[in-house]
Amino acid sequence: MKNLLIIIAFVCSAVAGSAQQFVAGKVILNINAKDLRSIPLRIVLDRDDMGVNEYSVDTLKFDNTNTQFSYQTKEPMKYKLTLFWAGRATTSTAFWVSPGIYTLHVSENRQAEVIRSLPDQTLIKMVALDQKKVINYQTEVNTLSKLEYDHKSIQQAEAEVSALRDSLAKDLDENIYRKTMMENLDNPVGAYAFIRYAEHPGSNQRFKAQPYEMEKLMELLDTGIQNLPSLKIMAAKIARGKQMLSGKVMKDITLVNALDKPIKISDYKGKYLLVDFWASWCTPCRQEHPNMISMFKKYTASGFNILSVSRDVRSDKAAWLSAIDKDGTGIWAQVSDFNDLAKQTYDIRALPSNYLIDPAGKIIARDLRGEDLNLQLAKIFKK
């Protein structure tokens, strides 16, 4: 059987006294398509770091002989190769990489397989950790499908689903991610597990909700591991998380509305302000809009206002404006975050998200929705 061979070779650069001596190096990617009867039209390489912070996509252009590409890496990375064939068919394979030689076999039936020349225990553990996450998710799906909803109210059913998901999420975080971290304090597997733990749960990420606890936990990792690029990025997130706790003054930024008029958070000084991050494609965000409209109308005369910050991309500006019109939220200021200023300043990684700040600009609470928002505003305005 004829195969397309893609050989990935790593030239390591040793850094004495640092965990990086195991992972830093030059990545050389060789593609040999000479012996394959039908070659792909193009190959796209996705490269992610451990925290999925550095997301790069390269289209690998090659001829019918040998073509070489090279990259630098400072930590284990997740690679995904996607092969595009005639007739709009695609095949792909994803794998962790570290120093070593890899060969991607693509058979005549276009199935891809990666073979590493020598085993790497770090990568084996990375793969095992990812598999545990998949199993946890499959358990959730299978269990949810078996829940009985007959003769139960919507509230009861939602409570059961929420309790189940919380239980499985706790198992994933505490018995998989945190446990794996504590067993691998001296290698990149521990770093990867810590990042996953700190970024969970999606609705209340620990690096924001518990930044001091996450800082202490990260300090358990060996110094060399803490110097890995993804851990430095996480350290910066934790530092920002400390500045976004209740009682801290929310950092002021300037964004523009649909007419390019600049609006600052400090423009609302003297009022209670809900800074709401949303997007036209975010269903939970838009489901909250009726409640926000109700609260706005009830308390605006008492000194309450809302500033909505859209996380839509620039190419979706029409969808953003259409959602405002359809949902009736144009009664308060709407600004865009096309340049990711708010995302970077406040680490907005998941939607919906919001901050309630007082007249002095200090944060009162975060991620208030539904009855929680209603109760907080009723407490403030005593209505």
Band (1; pLDDT cuts 50, 70, 90): very low
Structure tokens given for 343: 């995302």
Band (15; pLDDT cuts 50, 70, 90): very low
**pLDDT score recorded for residue 72:** 82
Structure tokens given for 243: 């500045």
> What is the CATH code of the structural domain delimited by 4-118?
2.60.40
Placement of tokens 């309450």 in the chain = 304
**pLDDT score recorded for residue 36:** 64
Task: Decide which of 3.30.70.3270, 3.40.30.10, 3.40.50.300, 3.60.15.10 is the CATH code for 254-381.
Answer: 3.40.30.10
* Pairing, β 56-60 against β 4-12: unpaired
* Res 263 pLDDT > 80: yes
Higher pLDDT, 128 or 307: 307
**pLDDT score recorded for residue 260:** 92
Alpha helices in 175-288 (DSSP H): 179-183, 188-198, 206-209, 211-218, 223-226, 229-242, 283-287
Among residues 195, 167, 169, 165, which one has the least CA distance to residue 180?
195
- Contact criterion met (CB below 8 Å) for 104 and 8: yes
Q: Do domains 4-118 and 254-381 have the same CATH topology?
A: no
Per-domain boundaries in the chain: 4-118, 122-242, 254-381
Preceding peptide of 188 cis, ω within 30° = no
Which pLDDT tens digit goes with each residue over 266-283? 999 999 999 999 999 999
